[in-house]
A and B are shown apart, each in its own frame.
Chain A
Amino acid sequence: MSSEAALVIERLHKSFGKLEVLRGVDLELAEHEVVCLIGASGSGKSTLLRCVNLLEPIDTGRVVLRGEDITTPRVDVNRVRRGIGIVFQAFNLFPHMSVLENVTLGPRKALRLQKPEADARATELLDRFGLADKRDEYPDRLSGGQQQRVAIVRALAMQPGLLLLDEVTSALDPELVAEVLGVVRELAAEGMTMLIATHEMSFARDVAHRVCFLDEGVILEQGTPEQIFGAPREPRTQQFLQRIVDAGRL
């Protein structure tokens, strides 16, 4: 394995009871690489991201983050998570906190930043993503697109070396998708290392360096967006993409 890999996932298995969701996933991300995971619902995309962030304990295999095996029992999960941002499909903002408090909670409590410093960092990020005037609003006063942008800012405020995006546009109305994807494109352009589970094929084609087709718990096929969307080799990949085309989503 190459030494410059940001993230290495090796023979990862994960079951929920009798249901084996991940059946030996191997995946490698280089620094500054953007990898999109595509696949049908239930193919294990979300579970894979949650395993990388240690929100789900894995059964067997390893996850290595910049040379450190983060799936050994001895590892300090809180320290590891500070370096990995995750954005959820349903935003999961804290409804009892203002936007600013949502964004500064992690830096203040997990990174132990002083309030002025955390506020400054948050304000700068909110400003950058067009949310400056929402600083003191509560999440339920924001549109879905704004909420998801706040969730991305909340993850970025930890200055993570790896960002996981779990279907970040699936809960949004179509007209709000673009503003969120715009943010993700911007991060990709800046060189953020990202692992993205998505149903937005055109977005994956546009932003990903590499696309992985996850099918029944394994990565069945991977390659450049041109290859996966232009000339998929595996019959299952072809079927999946055909269904997407039929649904008018590609």
Chain B
Amino acid sequence: MARKDRRSDSEVARLDGNRGSKILAGLTKGSGGRGVAIALLSTAVVLTVVVVLVVRSPGWDEVKQAFFSRDQFEKSFPDILSAFWTNVKIFLIAEVFILVLALGIAVLRSLPGPVFFPLRALAVVYVDLFRGVPTVLVIYILGFGIPALQLQGVPISPLFWGTVALVVVYSAYVSEVYRAGIESIHPSQAAAARSLGLTHGQALRHVVVPQAVRRVIPPLLNDFIGLQKDTALVALLGVVEAFRQSQIEVAATFNYTPYLATALLFVLITIPMARFTDWLLARDKRRQLAGDLR
């Protein structure tokens, strides 16, 4: 609809400000200082109750010894931290390939006409297959199966094949996210592009996909949080990453504290990403609201 009554520049600037407090407000869902105070108080009460319950439980002394040993934590943490670097590398490398491969699959699925049926069918089969098979199995099959073929020039590194397995599985998921994004762009956009004489591919490339990608960034980030955690599955092939390293430490001492240290590292790296996703969602919502008012 027509947008008279345009928002002045200073108003827009004000909307864009106050980002930090918006995030806190988003978490606490309160209004102003009173809301924050209530949120903090109720959180403290709940935490106290939980801590008291756990600490007063009959087995607490053993659990404390097995999971919360400061001594074990300090001994194992440096090795786990350096092994965790492997997780980060797997994640970063896999992410790049997933973004590209998944977009390719999503575009294949959106090709029109009977000529492209084989490509569309291929994309559908791929997605059905790799979304259906548990990630663990794909990791086993690729990680043990392909090196066992003893083909010339094909890598045998479990790290390599573990990463490939993650790329293969996550590309299937992420392609569906992209596809949802592509389908959410109103057909009138493609029609406008085609009416200018652009080809189907050009319309996708310049008009549909750029808008679709913007729209699906939050769900994409959500899948990447999942990917960060699943890098631990590569341990099943014998790759010494954080989880495997903590297993080694536990096997040597029969103390579970290294698991806790590993969990802590994963949480530390996913939290910023989760908050970033929240921030993006909040920003989109704000923009839409601003758009409605205009």
Interface of A toward B, CB cutoff 8 Å? 53, 55, 78-79, 81-82, 84-86, 88, 90, 92-96, 105-106, 109-111, 140-145, 154-155, 158, 171-173, 175-176
Contact = CB atoms under 8 A, between A and B. Distances in A.
28 contacts: A81-B196, A82-B197, A84-B195, A86-B195, A88-B188, A92-B191, A92-B192, A93-B192, A94-B211, A95-B211, A96-B211, A105-B193, A105-B198, A105-B207, A106-B198, A109-B196, A109-B198, A110-B197, A110-B202, A140-B291, A142-B3, A143-B4, A144-B3, A155-B196, A158-B196, A171-B1, A173-B4, A176-B2
B211 to A, nearest CB: 5
B235 to A, nearest CB: 42
A158 B210 CA distance: 23
Interface string B50-90: 00000000000000000000000000000000000000000
Most chain A CB neighbours (cut-off 10 Å) among B6, B194, B291: B194
Contact of A105 (B4, B6, B199, B206): B206
B197 A94 contact: no
Nearest to A84: B195
Contacts, number: 82
Contact of A94 (B1, B189, B199): B189
Given A55-B191, A92-B191, A144 B196 contact: no
Interface of B: 1-4, 6, 188-189, 191-199, 202, 206-207, 210-211, 214, 291, 294
B102 to A, nearest CB: 20
Contacts of B6: 141, 143
Given A92-B188, A94-B192, A105-B193, A143 B198 contact: no
Contacts of B191: 55, 88, 92
A81 B188 CA distance: 16
A118 to B, nearest CB: 12
Contacts of B4: 143-144, 173, 175-176
Given A79-B197, A81-B195, A140 B294 contact: yes
Contact of B2 (A86, A92, A144): A144
B2 A145 contact: yes
Contact of B188 (A78, A90, A155): A90
B198 A78 contact: yes
Contacts of A96: 210-211, 214
A171 B2 contact: yes
Contacts of B192: 88, 92-94
Given A106-B198, A145-B2, A171-B1, 16 more contacts: A78-B198, A81-B196, A88-B192, A93-B192, A94-B192, A94-B193, A94-B207, A105-B198, A109-B196, A140-B3, A140-B294, A141-B294, A142-B3, A144-B1, A144-B4, A171-B2
A94 B199 CA distance: 16
A155 B211 CA distance: 21
A78 B1 contact: no
Contacts of A140: 3, 291, 294
Nearest to A89: B188
